[in-house]
Amino acid sequence: MTFKIEMKNLMNFFARRKWILLLTTVITAIVFAGVMHFSSTTKDEPTNTEEKAKVDQYYSYFTFIAENPINGNNMMSISTMKSALTTERNLKELNEAGFTLDQKDLNYTMNLFTNGESGETIYLIIRNTSEENVKTAINYYYNLLVNKNSEYFSQKNMYYLSQPSDPSLELPVKAYYTSTDNNLFEAATASKKPIVKKDSQLTTNILYGIGIGLILGFILAFVRDTTDKKIHGTSYIYPLFKDQPMELIDLTFENNQVSSKKINMLLNADSERDLVISETESTWINTIKETAQADIAIKEVSPLSIKAIDQVYILVQKHLTTSKWLHEQIVLLSDTTIPVSIIFVDK
């Protein structure tokens, strides 16, 4: 059966499928909020451990400006500078000074960064979980640059703006920076990120769940309607007789009392012999028997039932009559010359 929702029947569609929509929305919202809550709780544990590991490190730094003696421009290529300060020679001299580490450790330990507040000033920063190792490394690099004991810096004009700072658990974070290792600032900037309260997050998850539930509910309601054999609106009827000279009388938007009067007027309007066909016995059929002059046929028409009949009315009851039954009656009557009308009423 072709499914189609006309605008005038849209509210009827939601009304008859309201429980599917409601239950799907509520269940989805609860499940989604629960899954997201436990998922976020699980993720918090390793994150807290990671942040604690980053905070429990010592930091020390000093600042300098490196100038190109040829054109007087300040050197700002911190990646090139880091490469020049993390050579095998630097690694060997640090190990000889008592700081045992490999090349990977050295790349992690020593970094350079700049920030927007201090212009072209370069920060050389050392980080390590050992306060003594931090002291050893920061003094090594400070003396290395002051004495120009580096091939890259030996021909540069060097200006030192600060002495090595005392090792501290607080990282010197600036408002804006570029760094040879942006992960260096994760631990410090994490505390500046807005904290989302759990109750606020729960509300957000519930709202997302409601949205997803409404979508799923609408899909389920759509599927249920496409597999439903009962007739719920005129859109279910029109495709069944579109090629037949039949009339549809829609009384579903009238109350039952008004509908009953209109049916009586149709059946008693003239001296013609009318036949009313219905799939089942119902209150409507009983009312017609009591108030109208018409023959009644239940289940289906037959050659005998339409003998000497001038007009046939097929009674279709909303939410009760099946499209299969209606289709069969239309097919049976299509070979006759008897006028046929379909009366569509509420159940």
Element (H, E) at 47: helix 18-55
Q: Do 244 and 337 belong together in one domain?
A: yes
Q: Output the CA torsion sign for 329, 332, 333, 334.
A: positive
Q: Do 268 and 294 belong together in one domain?
A: yes
Q: What is the pLDDT of residue 199?
A: 62
Residue span of the structural domain in which 79 resides: 57-168
Structural domain contains residue 182: no
Q: What is the pLDDT of residue 109?
A: 94
pLDDT higher than 90, residue 87: yes
* pLDDT band at residue 255 using 50, 70 and 90 as cut-offs: confident
Work out how many domains the chain is built from and give that number.
Answer: 3
Structural domain contains residue 114: yes
Work out the burial of residue 181: count CB atoms within 10 Å of its CB; fewer than 13 is exposed, 13-18 middle, 19 or more buried.
middle
Q: What is the pLDDT of residue 173?
A: 64
Is the distance from CB of 169 to CB of 55 less than 8 angstroms?
yes
- pLDDT tens for residues 266-309? 888 776 788 889 988 888 888 888 887 788 888 877 777 777 88
Over the range 1-11, which residues count as b (16 or more CB within 10 Å of their CB) and which as e? beeeeeeebee
Q: Do 124 and 200 belong together in one domain?
A: no
Structural domain contains residue 184: no
- pLDDT tens for residues 24-68? 888 888 888 888 877 766 555 444 434 444 457 899 999 999 999
pLDDT higher than 50, residue 230: yes
240's tokens: 């069944």
**Residue 99: closest CA among 55, 62, 131:** 131
Q: 85-94, 104-113, 292-301: which has the minimum mean pLDDT?
A: 292-301
Over the range 67-76, which residues count as b (16 or more CB within 10 Å of their CB) and which as e? eeeeeeeebe
Q: Do 17 and 76 belong together in one domain?
A: no
Q: What is the CATH number of the domain that holds 113?
A: 3.30.70
Q: Do 217 and 247 belong together in one domain?
A: no
- pLDDT tens for residues 193-204? 454 455 677 788
- pLDDT tens for residues 6-32? 555 667 677 777 788 888 888 888 888
Q: What is the pLDDT of residue 189?
A: 55
- Domain end marker among 128, 153, 168: 168
H runs (alpha helix) in the chain = 10-16, 18-55, 78-85, 88-96, 103-109, 131-146, 186-190, 198-227, 238-241, 256-268, 283-291, 323-333
**Residue 290: closest CA among 323, 272, 268:** 268
Q: Do 84 and 27 belong together in one domain?
A: no
pLDDT higher than 60, residue 190: no
* pLDDT band at residue 170 using 50, 70 and 90 as cut-offs: confident
Q: Do 77 and 127 belong together in one domain?
A: yes
Q: Do 268 and 317 belong together in one domain?
A: yes
Question: pTM to 2 decimals?
Answer: 0.44
Q: What is the CATH number of the domain that holds 338?
A: 3.40.50
Q: What is the pLDDT of residue 346?
A: 86
